[in-house]
C-alpha cells in the first residue's frame, strides 16, 4: 500500500486519564505522521458531520461490493484530507495508491497509475487542482466509464486503443477549490469543505498524540497547545513536539499549562495561534497600508513572500477568526485584527465576522 506524507486529521482520547499505550518509535517526519494518523472512523476526532456521511457511504459500498463513489475533500493544509483517504481505504479493506497533481505530468504517467490499480482500489491525488489540462481531460473517461483511451504509434498510422480499467475510487484533495474546472468537479459524487477543528477536538488530538509518543501531559497543557494550534491538527502535533523539548530541558519532562505557555511564547506563537508571519501580515495591512484595502500582490511584495503561501496558509485562518476581510478592492484589516495587534482601529474598519470567540 503506497504511502505519502501529509495531513494529520488526528483522533484522540476523551480524557487525559485514558490508559497509556506503548510509545511509538519515531525515526523520521514521515514515520511521525504515520504513527499519529488515525486508521479508522472510530479513531478520527472532529469533522463529525463528514465522518457520519462517510460511514454510510463506505458501509454501503463494502456490504454491496460496489466501488465507492469519487470523493473530493477541500480545505486549508493540515486538516486531515490525506488522513481521510487512508481511513476510507482501511474501512473499505482496499489498497490506497497515493500521488499528487504535480507528479502526474503527462498522459503516460496517468495511464501507468490507473492500470496499476486493483478492483475497487482507491487512488488519492493530493493537490488535484494542479493537474495539467491534458491529464485532467484523460481522467474524465476513467472516472466515468472506467476506460482509458490511448494512441499507439504516430501520424496517420496511429491507432486508438481503449483500455478497460478496474472499478476504482478517486479521492481528491485540494486547498484551492476555485481552481478546479467545472467538468472535473462534476465527476465527483461528493464534495466536502473541511473546517477548522473545535477547541475540544483539538485538545483531544493533543492528548492522544502525547499518549502515543509517551509524553506525560495534563489537561491544562493540552488545552494551551490546542488553543494556539489554529484549529489544525498538523500544527498541534508540531507544537506538541516543540513543547516536549522545552519540558524535557526546562522541567521534569511533563507538559503542564505553565510550561506549555512559556514554551509557545518563546516560539512566538501567541494566544490566538498567530505566528510571526501572521502578525507581519496584519502589521503590513494595518500600519503600512492604513488598514487597506490592499491587493495580495502588494502584501506579498512587502513581506517578500509568495502569494500562494499567503493565500493558502496565512489568510484562511485570519479570515476564519475575523482579523481580515476580503473586499472587491483588496484585503482589509478588521477592528478585531487591529485589537489583536494592540492598535487603535480607524472608524471605517469593519468589525469582523469571524468566530474568534467561538473557536478559541
What are the tens digits of pLDDT across the range 162-197?
Answer: 888 899 999 999 988 888 899 999 999 888 999 999
249 contact partners, CB below 8 Å, separation of at least 6: none
Mean pLDDT of 245-259: 89
What are the tens digits of pLDDT across the range 32-68?
Answer: 666 788 989 999 999 999 999 999 999 999 888 888 8
The DSSP result for 310-340, as a single string, is IIIIIHHHHHHTTSEEEETTEEEE-HHHHHH
Count other C-beta atoms under 10 Å from residue 329's C-beta: 10
> What architecture (CATH level 2) is domain 276-359?
Orthogonal Bundle (1.10)
Contact of 270 with 339, CB cutoff 8 Å: no
pLDDT at 353: 58
Domain 199-266 adopts which CATH fold?
Helicase, Ruva Protein; domain 3 (1.10.8)
pLDDT at 177: 85
276-359: same fold as 199-266? no
Contact of 256 with 243, CB cutoff 8 Å: no
Residue 354 has pLDDT above 90, yes or no: no
In angstroms, the Cα distances linking 170 to 76, 109, 210 are 20, 16, 33
Mean pLDDT of 92-119: 90
Q: Which helix (H) or strand (E) holds 60?
A: helix 48-64
Estimate to the nearest angstrom the gap between the alpha carbon of 141 and the chain centroid. 28
Rounded to whole angstroms, how far apart are CA atoms 336 and 317?
13
The percent of residues in the chain predicted with pLDDT above 70, rounded, is 85
The per-residue b/e assignment along 87-108, b for 16 or more CB within 10 angstroms, e otherwise, is bbbbbbebbbbbbbbeebeebe
| Domain edges within the chain | 47-193, 199-266, 276-359
Under the banding of pLDDT at 50, 70 and 90, the label for residue 232 is very high
pLDDT at 8: 45
pLDDT at 20: 43
What is the CATH number that goes with domain 47-193?
3.40.50.300
According to DSSP, residue 191 is labeled E
Mind telling me the catalytic residues? 81-82, 126, 175, 234
Amino acid at each position: 500500500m503506497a504511502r505519502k506524507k501529509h495531513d494529520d486529521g488526528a483522533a484522540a482520547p476523551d480524557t487525559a486519564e485514558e490508559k497509556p499505550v506503548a510509545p511509538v518509535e519515531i525515526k523520521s517526519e514521515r514515520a511521525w505522521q504515520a504513527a499519529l494518523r488515525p486508521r479508522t472512523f472510530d479513531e478520527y476526532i472532529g469533522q463529525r458531520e463528514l465522518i457520519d456521511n462517510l460511514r454510510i457511504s463506505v458501509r454501503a459500498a463494502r456490504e454491496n461490493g460496489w466501488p465507492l463513489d469519487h470523493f473530493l475533500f477541500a480545505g486549508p493544509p493540515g486538516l486531515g484530507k490525506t488522513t481521510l483517504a487512508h481511513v476510507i481505504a482501511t474501512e473499505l479493506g482496499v489498497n490506497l495508491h497515493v500521488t499528487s497533481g504535480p507528479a502526474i505530468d503527462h498522459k503516460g504517467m496517468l495511464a501507468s497509475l490507473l492500470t496499476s490499480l486493483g478492483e475497487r482500489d482507491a487512488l488519492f491525488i493530493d493537490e488535484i487542482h494542479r493537474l495539467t489540462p491534458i491529464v485532467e481531460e484523460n481522467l474524465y473517461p476513467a472516472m466515468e466509464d472506467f476506460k482509458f483511451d490511448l494512441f499507439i504509434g504516430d501520424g496517420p498510422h496511429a491507432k486508438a486503443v481503449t483500455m478497460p480499467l478496474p472499478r476504482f475510487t478517486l479521492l481528491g484533495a485540494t486547498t484551492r477549490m476555485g481552481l478546479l474546472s467545472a467538468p472535473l468537479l462534476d465527476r465527483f459524487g461528493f464534495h466536502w469543505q473541511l473546517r477548522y477543528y473545535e477547541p475540544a477536538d483539538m485538545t483531544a488530538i493533543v492528548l492522544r498524540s502525547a499518549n502515543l509518543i509517551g509524553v506525560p501531559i495534563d489537561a491544562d497543557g493540552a488545552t494551551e497547545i490546542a488553543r494556539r494550534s489554529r484549529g489544525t491538527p498538523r500544527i498541534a502535533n508540531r507544537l506538541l513536539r516543540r513543547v516536549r523539548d522545552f519540558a524535557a530541558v526546562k522541567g521534569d519532562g511533563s507538559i503542564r499549562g505553565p510550561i506549555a505557555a512559556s514554551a509557545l511564547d518563546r516560539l512566538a506563537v501567541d494566544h490566538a495561534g498567530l505566528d510571526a508571519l501572521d502578525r507581519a501580515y496584519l502589521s503590513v495591512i494595518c500600519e503600512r497600508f492604513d488598514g487597506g484595502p490592499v491587493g495580495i500582490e502588494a502584501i506579498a511584495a512587502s513581506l517578500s513572500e509568495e502569494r500562494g503561501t499567503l493565500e493558502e496558509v496565512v489568510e484562511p485562518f485570519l479570515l476564519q477568526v475575523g482579523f481580515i476581510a476580503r473586499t472587491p478592492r483588496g484585503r482589509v484589516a478588521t477592528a478585531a485584527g487591529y485589537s489583536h495587534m494592540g492598535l487603535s482601529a480607524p472608524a471605517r474598519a469593519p468589525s469582523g465576522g469571524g468566530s474568534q470567540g467561538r473557536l478559541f
